[in-house]
Chain A
């Protein structure tokens, strides 16, 4: 219990640090929110009034205190462009991003587990080399290029799937594949390395000597022990999926917080940028914490709360 409380406290400290960083970054980034709201032709008096209304006439520490005061109350401010609460804009878009992240995560697990097992099981033979080559390819292709390639093949060439947007379940396939494939490559390599290390352990030799088949040895003894580093990586990837979804969402016009973020950056809608970055950071921290808990459950020797 004490350990759990310590973990929660750690998480809160990290979240405070992230929030502070986001606030300071947005405070020093070039550009004037008043220009965003009133345009360049605004009268000086109107500009001053707007500066006051937005609290920009206050010193930075005062603005910072106000920011944290609002944040604690769940108030991320008002969009300068859409004139709607930022929390509402994020709440509208977050389900789509979560759906994409969960689907991409499923792609990662569905590819990495069998591919890693095959590579380790056939170490240094052609299946291993093939898996490694494909994984290297997956790591090397950037999402913004892979996406259009998949579209050319599956949408334009074969006509099976929609190009972009959100027109139902079929629309999810290509963005999830695009986002998941490169991450699957990392996980595959991680699982393979972890399995190879474990397969040289004496207890696996004992299992084989007891007459267990290679499949059972891998599945029952090697895989559970190789999972801890993989889960850690998957935890990192789950967080990265939220952040990494930005590019994929833009390419596929997927209506998540990634497209909201890019639009907000383009329009200098600072409160929205701040809110989305914060949500992504929170997602990152929480997914890592979750991974720590799962790893601790898998391997009690790891005393992470």
Chain B
């Protein structure tokens, strides 16, 4: 009996064990990349890895400007674009150089309803796309979109794969890394094409265990998703390198504008003046965040520089509440929904305490992510807090503030309605980037003026490394610096 039991255990062990080579650089991530098909990936973990595996026509720089990658482009008319593949583009891992047919198949594949791609919505105005020759592609749009090149950031697949209306099983790209293996534990091994260095992405959900793995040498790199106390601890260790870089993740406090209390601008402004953002950044983020005023960073080409911050002024907050009839004998009680994430809950309790100083009782309701997000989309809330992650397209302004973008048609979760803002967004969409930027800044100014939400902060991207050098976190949390990372014991 014991023999059979032992034999069973050995068989299971053999089936389950996976060893990582000692020369491999291990990147411990909170979430494993779940989808290696760039047409279907929409979660941040997958998109960051796919950016390593698949080359793209265009990439966005730190200011959100499209830059030629595999291709440059020319606007033939306001609805027709011609894309020219670069002569020095990288080959697929099998040695074949991607051509126009691959590009067309990838984008038309995304638009195939049978594939059900989450990227189809943003490309739905492509009327036609055809290869003029092996190096040139022409795109016809149903309406003018001067910013169209910025949408061409999806990884290119070989045509034969891209025509399949289902998720690819064998990744094949022309990125700087090649796919090696997807292990049973969902960890992923990729190989740098320039020198053969292998990188393993291992999912470790628990931040403490991720940190312990780093300290024991089982992992070399961590990025984000670490609580500030762990970061402070790691920052004090001489064998660990910690780098923080300004990020694009923008946290905000949202209001339900259909709520009779929060429909009053004075109440929203009072809340904005009652929140001491600097203290939260200092104590809860240990300085690894910076107060922000708009979803697009001021450095973005459409970013609104010079928006006047609503400074922390409890006296002014009390005065504003007094103007709309809220006093000590008629206190204001509001509900605030958040997720179960420990940091978000901690922030909620600080907000509760800060709002109490001006006479607002905040009732915190914390739910699992699905319930919380479902409630927000359904409009079942008074106040909530969320963050926009990796935003670098001005499309976010239509998506979050246009009247027609109320869920499920978009992410105007506060149900904001403004004829002025709608008109500005619609007009901007027909103009060149330079002209559009002026109107888009005006949109952000108007949204800020209307206190549609309380802007909180941009969260920094933090990378922690041990035993490796050359890695810096990307501005939007991307992993592109893995192209330069090396083991520090390597010659």
Q: Decide if B12 touches A82 in the complex (CB within 8 Å).
A: no
A31→B371 CA distance, assembly (Å): 7
Instruction: Contact check, A29 vs B35: say whether CB atoms are below 8 A apart.
Output: no
Instruction: Given A46-B120, A165-B185, A259-B205, decide whether A32 and B167 contact each other with a Cβ distance below 8 A.
Output: no
Q: B351-390: which residues lie under 8 A (CB-CB) from chain A?
A: 368-371, 373-375, 377-378
Residues of A164-178 contacting chain B, CB below 8 A: 164-169, 171-172
Contacts of B167 in A (CB 8 A): 82-84
Cβ-closest 9 pairs across A and B: A255-B185, A30-B374, A83-B167, A99-B12, A39-B118, A41-B121, A31-B370, A253-B204, A96-B16
Answer yes or no: A25 CB below 8 A from chain B CBs. Answer: no
Cβ-closest chain A residue relative to B6: A106
Count class of interface residues, chain B: 35 or more
Residue from the list B121, B373, B411 in contact with A46, Cβ < 8 A: B121
CB within 8 Å of A: which residues of B? 5, 8-9, 12-13, 15-20, 31-32, 34-35, 37, 40, 42-43, 113, 116-118, 120-122, 124, 166-167, 183-187, 202-206, 208-209, 212-213, 215-216, 218, 368-371, 373-375, 377-378, 399, 407-411
Residues of A within 8 A of B8 (CB): 102
Contact A148–B370 (Cβ < 8 Å):
no
**A interface residues with partner B (beta carbon < 8 Å):** 29-32, 35, 37-44, 46-47, 49-50, 53, 81-84, 92-93, 95-96, 98-99, 102-103, 106, 144, 147-148, 151-152, 155-156, 159, 162-169, 171-172, 250-255, 259, 262-263, 265-268
With both chains docked as a complex, state the minimum distance between the C-beta of B160 and any C-beta of chain A, in angstroms. Answer: 18
User: Mind listing 19 A-B residue pairs with CB under 8 Å?
Assistant: A30-B375, A31-B370, A35-B377, A39-B118, A40-B408, A42-B121, A81-B34, A82-B35, A83-B167, A102-B5, A102-B8, A102-B12, A148-B212, A155-B216, A169-B13, A251-B206, A252-B209, A259-B185, A265-B370
Q: A37-B116, A93-B184 are in contact. Are A99 and B20 (CB under 8 A)?
A: no
Q: What residues of chain B lie closer than 8 Å to A152, measured between beta carbons?
A: 212
Known: A30-B374, A49-B113, A255-B183. 14 other contacts (CB 8 A): A35-B408, A40-B399, A41-B121, A42-B118, A43-B120, A106-B5, A148-B208, A148-B212, A152-B212, A159-B216, A162-B216, A169-B13, A253-B202, A265-B368
Q: How far is the CA of A263 from the CA of B206 in the complex (A)?
A: 12
**Inside 8 A of A46's CB, which chain B residues have their CB?**
113, 116, 120-121, 124
CB-based contact A156/B13 at 8 Å? no
Q: Which residues of chain A have C-beta atoms less than 8 A from B43's C-beta?
A: 81, 267
Instruction: Decide if A263 touches B370 in the complex (CB within 8 Å).
Output: no
Contact A262 B218 (CB under 8 A): no
C-alpha gap A145/B43 in the complex (Å): 30
What's the A-B contact tally at a CB cutoff of 8 Å? 170
Given contacts A98-B12, A151-B212, A156-B215, contact A263 B120 (CB under 8 A): no
Q: Is the CB of B203 within 8 A of A253?
A: yes
| Nearest chain A CB to B295 CB, angstrom units | 15
CB distance from A146 to the nearest CB of B (A): 13
Chain A proximity of B36: nearest CB distance (Å): 10
Q: Are B213 and A164 in contact (CB under 8 A)?
A: yes
The answer to whether B17 and A41 touch across the interface, beta carbons within 8 angstroms, is no
Select A83's contact among B35, B186, B204, B399, beta carbons within 8 Å: B35
B residues less than 8 Å from A252 (CB atoms)? 209
**Which residue from chain A places its CB closest to the CB of B370 in the assembled complex?**
A31
